[in-house]
Amino acid sequence: MAEKLRYSREVPVKYDVDVLVVGGGPAGCAAAWAAGQVAGTGTGKSVLLIEGTGALGGMGTLGGVPAFMQFGDGVNFLAGEFAGKLLRNLEAAKGIYPEKIPMDTGGSIAIRAEVLKRVYDQMLLEAGVKISLCTQMIDVICNGRKIEHVICAAKSGLFGIRAKRFIDCSGDGDLCAWAGAAFEKGDDQGNLMPGTLCSLWADIDFKTIHALGLNPREKIVEAIEAGGVFTLPDRHLPGMWQLGPGVGGGNISHAFGLDATDEVSLTHHLIDSRKRLMEYERFYKEYLKGYEKMWLVNTGALMGVRETRRIVCDYMMTLDDFKSRVNFNDEIGRYCYPVDIHSSSPDQNKYEESMKDFFTTYRYERGESYGIPYRSLIPKDLDNALVAGRCIGSDRYIQGSMRVMPGCFITGQAAGRATRVSLKCNCDLREVDTAEIFDVFHNHGNGLKP
């Protein structure tokens, strides 16, 4: 049993705000922007976003995830007003590739991360949001079912933040879990989806690659069966997105056994993933045309994490909701991405089962989507906090669909909007009129149509 240390000290309350958003990934940016519209009206409502790293955007920027998944169902733009404005701003700043938004926003869109960082900065500052980067939340102070303060560590030292409303956009549900909220994690045996350390590559001959139309997934099986290339027989290869002439963003390799709520596990898998990317460089060079001169430019500053905690909320979405294309009375948005659960091990049978689920069993036709209820954003054990992003109230299947960035935009914007409404009406978060949240999703793709 580890030695216990009791530690006590007084810290200044550096900020006293109406809304505190914890985490500056896609959900956090959308939440702060939506809540910050209050600040922009001159009503005196204040919104603060804290982020532990040096940039906003999370997986799409520092994590190096090379592409947004689908923003719509091929007929309707679903990801909300924030996402629509973000895409238009990225297009104007040449932050996507190709440089025009595809007419069918039911597909993926490649990301130029440095541009995305600046667009997030601009949008939040214009919304009146105060941003504090390089700021780590280290503790949560509650009074019964209400959060009163969070304690942070930054270069200026330790300090407290007091807020009326809190939004947990940490990805891992840290704020709610540390406040005592119940959560679920992994499957029935506690197995988690593997992570991926994304990567940036140069000198790729995409012209040759597109002309030949080779399938890397077929070639990786060939390399695994030949032996001598890979440490692990991992058949799952999400692939390489073209980010510009000769530049590719890699979503390749898996960190099996990763628990991103444990810094020891994170450390091990970051180091191991950097090492194993050299195996993938060899594979691409030896087995696929067009990659012979490729070289590694950079790896993500953050591990790409697919799954950790799911906060127990007033309603837990389930696979049956996905199957039934469900509608809810308290709906705050709709989404449509397939159930995408990466196998927790490199076992071939489990891999094939997950691929069947993704490409066939749990994939919608054009125009189909499922509703997302406001209750799935309200932690069951807390009264003045909401959760957004991949740790909302759901089972693993819905989490496997909602965890991608456009899904996070939807729940983030809804959470931010809900805090705005509750402050305006001086009501509890559970009393918010969800019609005022859902309205912003209808016909607010900012001119985007598939």
CB 96 within 8 A of CB 426: no
- The token pair at 107 is 């597909």
Question: Above 80 in pLDDT, residue 442?
Answer: no
- Is residue 101 scored above 90 in pLDDT? no
Domain 13-188+307-438 listed as CATH 3.50.50.60: yes
Tokens of 83: 């996402």
- Residue 40 pLDDT greater than 80, yes or no: no
Instruction: Look at residue 38 and tell me whether its pLDDT is greater than 60.
Output: no
Distance CA 224, CA 265 (A): 26
Residue 235 token pair: 């058949």
SS3 of residue 313 by DSSP: strand
Q: What three-state secondary structure class fits 149?
A: strand
Q: What pTM was estimated for this model as a whole? A: 0.95
In this predicted structure, what is the pLDDT of residue 45?
66
User: Averaged over 374-386, what is the pLDDT?
Assistant: 98
For residue 102, is the peptide bond before it cis, meaning its omega torsion is within 30 degrees of 0? no
- What is the Cα–Cα distance from 309 to 190, expressed in whole angstroms? 11
Question: Do residues 334 and 326 make contact, with C-beta atoms less than 8 angstroms apart?
Answer: no
Residue 443, pLDDT > 80, answer no
Supply the pLDDT for residue 105. Answer: 80
Name the average pLDDT for the chain.
93
114 is written with which tokens? 């440095």
Closest CA to 258 of 199, 189, 308, 187: 308
Q: Is the pLDDT of residue 39 over 70?
A: no
Q: Does the pLDDT at position 450 exceed 50?
A: no
> For the segment 183-209, what is each residue's pLDDT rounded down to a tens digit?
999 999 999 999 999 999 999 999 999
pLDDT score of 73: 94
Q: Quick one: CA torsion of 124, 125, 131, 134, rounded to 10 degrees?
A: 90
Mean pLDDT to the nearest integer, 68-77 = 94
Give the strand pairing for 157-168 and 295-299. Answer: unpaired
Q: What are the residue ranges spanned by the domains of the chain?
A: 13-188+307-438, 199-299
Secondary structure class of 138 (helix, strand, coil): strand
